[in-house]
């Protein structure tokens, strides 16, 4: 395993009796990146996280987390990772500060009180530190759970739906916090069904349904499926003009929609000038040019449909 990989798996598989929850998973996650693990409910994402955090053993295959071998250095792995589950349990009859202090002491944090104050302040909860966790709103509980995940300064974080149920302001705070954690060199595995959030935060994405269907940056996955679509807005109907650009070098497909030409090309920066020249040559009035951007949801739905759905 190279020093640039925070996580690497080779053929990682987990069986529960006759049910295959995770099958032949091979992936690499670079250090200091945000990696989105996306897939339908029952796809095996939680099982994967449990294996990578040394909570359950793989049935087959190998995995390394921060250079440590899963199944052989499990105690050290648990000390280096932090896990935010989708429904984190808190001691509701204890104060927020006491919740964090207990966790800090379990991890033998050198200065528990300092760690508690640091993260409660960072997440805007310091003024409510002496309130019982059971009196917190759902958003405040989620932020408290995130603070608890960070008490022992883990190098790798696994965050399961970190903004689920949060109001827009709280969700934005959490997303900004995730960006800050990345700048500190931490690696973050983000499990989410929020495609806009994944698109905004993730350096790479793995689309997953018991096995890895596709992995890459959001931009790479879009281009792999759809190429790049450039829209030329014209001053006249585009139907008669469409044939004039079909043979231009680099053009893969042309569609006419009212006064718009939608052109699929591999490299707009390289191919657009020739298309513009062809349009000008036939007297087309170009009003403006823009690139059509498929959503990450479009990519997700198509790849999951092609790759199969989770059944466990």
Q: Give per-residue pLDDT as tens, 147-156.
A: 999 999 999 9
Is the separation of the CB atoms in 189 and 19 below 8 Å? no
Q: Residue 308: what pLDDT?
A: 53
Predicted TM-score (pTM) of the model is 0.82
Q: Report which of 47, 63, 66, 44 is spatially closest to residue 55, judged by C-alpha positions.
A: 47
Helices 96-106 and 112-122, packing angle to 10 deg: 130
Each residue's pLDDT tens digit, 74-133: 999 999 999 998 787 899 999 999 999 999 999 999 999 999 999 999 888 999 999 999
List the domains of the chain with CATH numbers. 5-216 (3.40.50.300), 226-295 (3.30.70.980)
Each residue's pLDDT tens digit, 160-201: 989 887 888 888 888 998 999 999 999 999 998 889 999 999
Q: Report which of 21, 78, 17, 31 is spatially closest to residue 52, judged by C-alpha positions.
A: 78
How many separate helices (H) and strands (E) can be counted in the chain?
10, 14
Q: How far apart are CA 23 and CA 4, in angstroms?
A: 25
Q: How far apart are CA 264 and CA 268, in angstroms?
A: 9
Q: Residue 1: what pLDDT?
A: 46
pLDDT at 3 over 70: no
């Amino acid at each position: 395993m190279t020093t640039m990989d925070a996580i690497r798996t080779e053929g990682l598989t987990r069986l529960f009796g006759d049910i295959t929850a995770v099958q032949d998973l091979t992936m690499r996650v670079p250090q200091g990146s945000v990696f989105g693990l996306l897939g339908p409910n029952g796809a095996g994402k939680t099982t994967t996280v449990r294996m990578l955090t040394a909570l359950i053993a793989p049935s087959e295959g190998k995995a390394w987390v921060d250079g440590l071998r899963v199944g052989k250095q499990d105690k050290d792995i648990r000390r280096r990772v932090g896990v935010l589950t989708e429904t984190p349990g808190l001691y509701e009859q204890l104060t927020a500060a006491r919740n964090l202090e207990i966790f800090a002491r379990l991890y033998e944090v050198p200065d528990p009180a300092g760690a508690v104050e640091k993260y409660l302040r960072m997440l805007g909860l310091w003024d409510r530190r002496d309130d019982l966790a059971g009196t917190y709103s759902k958003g405040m509980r989620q932020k408290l759970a995130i603070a608890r995940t960070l008490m022992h300064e883990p190098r790798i974080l696994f965050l399961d739906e970190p903004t689920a149920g949060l109001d827009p302001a709280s969700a934005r705070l959490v997303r900004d916090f995730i960006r800050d954690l990345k700048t500190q060199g931490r690696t973050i595995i983000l499990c989410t069904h929020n495609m806009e959030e994944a698109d905004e935060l993730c350096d790479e994405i793995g689309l997953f349904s018991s096995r890895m269907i596709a992995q890459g940056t959001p931009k790479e996955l879009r281009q792999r499926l759809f190429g790049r679509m450039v829209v030329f807005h014209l001053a006249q109907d585009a139907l008669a003009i469409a044939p004039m650009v079909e043979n231009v070098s680099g053009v893969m497909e042309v569609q006419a929609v009212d006064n718009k030409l939608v052109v699929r090309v591999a490299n707009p920066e390289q191919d657009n000038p020739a298309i513009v020249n062809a349009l000008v040559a036939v007297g087309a009035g170009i009003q403006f040019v823009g690139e059509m951007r498929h959503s990450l949801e479009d990519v997700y739905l198509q790849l999951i449909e092609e790759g199969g759905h989770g059944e466990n």
